[in-house]
Every structure is written in C-alpha cells, then in structure tokens.
Amino acid sequence: MLLKRPMSLGELSKNLGSNPSNVIPQIRKLELEGLVESRGRKCTLTDRGKLIGELYSGFLCGIEVIENHRHFWTEHDLSCIPEHLLKRIYELEGPHIIENPPEGIYEVHKEFVENVASSTIIYGISSVYHPAYPSMFLELAESGKNVTLILTENVFKKVKKNNRSELRGYLRLKNTQMYVSDEDIKLTSVVTDRFFSISLYFRDGTYDFRRDLISFNETALLWGKELFEYYLSRSRKIYSQKIFGELQQI
C-alpha cells in the first residue's frame, strides 16, 4: 500500500481491516528494519523499503497470475515465450480466461473480436490459419486501424493460396505491415492500445482453440508489445510489389 503513496495509521488500519493497536507493532518492526519512516502523521517507505517493496510486489503478482490460472500455465507449452519475459510473467497483472463452449471450439472468440474492433493500433502474431482472420484483419485495416501482423511460413502460404484477394487488399493499404517468421512459433497473440491476448499450444503439440488469456492492464500491454517486438526482430518483411508478382503466377 505504501508503494502507492504515504498513508496515515488510520488509512493503513482501514485498508488492512484491523485496529490501529494491532497495526502499530507491525509498523514499528518495519521502522526498525529501515523500511518505513514517519513523516508528520504519515508512514512512508524509505529508499530501501521501496526497493524491497517493488521486488516483493512483483513476486506476489507473479504468484497470483500463475495460481489463479494454474491449469492454463501447466497444460500448455511455454517454450516460445522468451526466457526474459517468462521471468516477468507477473507483469500480466489481472488476466482472465475467455473460453469458447465445446460446440463453438473453432469459432473466433466474441470478446476478442469486440476488443480488437475497439482498438486503433493492432499487433498480431499468428501460427494458426483461421479462415475468418484474413477478411477480419482486412476490414479492420480498411476502417483506418494500424495493423501489423507476423505470420509463420505455413500460415502465410495458406493465406496466399486461399485468400489472395484479401492479401492483395491488405498489402495495398498504407496503414498495414506484414512479416513472416521461419520459426515454428507455438503461440498466437494480439496486443493493441486496449488489450493483450495470448493463446498457446498444449504440451502434446496441438493448438488450444478454446482458451485465450486476456488482460487490459498497462503492464500486460507493454509485456505483449515486447513479445511482439521479439519475434518481429526475427522475421522478414513482406513487400507488396513482390507478392503481387507471385500472386499473378498462382
């Protein structure tokens, strides 16, 4: 609580749901350890207290993110999440799972579509071909949204084969970019100015079409953008002139 701002004894007691007489001994212990000091009628963190508080806060958030969605993390393959981001999993603060019912397992999540539609900047990584995605992202781009996509080589080949008109339309726009990765990326994610979403593969190598982890927290958006930039730096850009020539030959 003191990481957010200095607080009086009364404020701390109220937030802790306890009596001041029970809180005072704990404050004294923190003062003896050089973590807290009194300034007027307020308690505030020392520089050492801020450092330890930040580290402990990250630890608690990480435990919460993992424990609240234990099955999501234990059932899926996490190998495609870079190690430096996996160590900062606590930054995905306040996530929840969106899940399709069994009868709609291959349908696009309604909540996902609504959140993408209300965004203005969209960065996506796709390792799975879904017939609805090419036209959906084309429509988003045509509405004026800035869209940048990274596709795996296999997905890109399917888009060229099955969605030539959508690919042409997408690449002709000035507010779009497309990249292709030669890596076997075992995840799909979208990060926008509004939300972050990630879906993973099961540990047996099959893709989980039903569940996405989604968060609207600012730190989660930054985490998602860093994930996107990691794979962007390892991908090649697709230029419209070259692709139009290739499509003519198909």
Contacts of 249 (CB under 8 A, 6+ apart): none
Given pLDDT bands bounded at 50, 70 and 90, which one contains residue 118?
A: very high
> Is the per-residue pLDDT at 249 higher than 60?
no
Of the two residues 64 and 119, the one the predictor is more confident about is 119
pTM: 0.77
Q: Does the pLDDT value for residue 159 go beyond 70?
A: yes
Kindly tell me the number of DSSP H helices and DSSP E strands found in the chain.
11, 11
What are the tens digits of pLDDT across the range 223-236? Answer: 999 999 999 999 99
- The answer to whether residue 204 scores a pLDDT higher than 90 is yes
Asked if 172 and 226 count as a contact pair (C-beta separation under 8 A), the reply is no
Does residue 21 sit within a domain?
Answer: no
| 210 occurs within a structural domain | yes
Burial class (CB in 10 A: 0-12, 13-18, 19+), 144: exposed
Q: CB count, 10 Å around CB of 142? A: 14
Burial class (CB in 10 A: 0-12, 13-18, 19+), 95: buried
Residue 50 lies in a domain: no
CATH of the domain at 111: 3.30.870.10
206 in a domain, yes or no?
yes
**7 assigned to some structural domain:** no
**Residue-range definition of the domain harbouring residue 223:** 77-249
**What per-residue confidence (pLDDT) applies to 35?**
94
Check residue 241 and give its pLDDT: 59
Cβ neighbourhood burial of 178 (10 Å; 0-12, 13-18, 19+): buried
Neighbour-count burial for 8-25, b at 16+ CB within 10 Å, e otherwise: eeeebbeeeeeeeeebee
In a domain? residue 63: no
| Domain contains 143 | yes
Structural domain contains residue 17: no
What's the domain count of the chain?
A: 1
Whether residue 23 contacts residue 13, with contact meaning beta carbons closer than 8 Å, is answered with yes
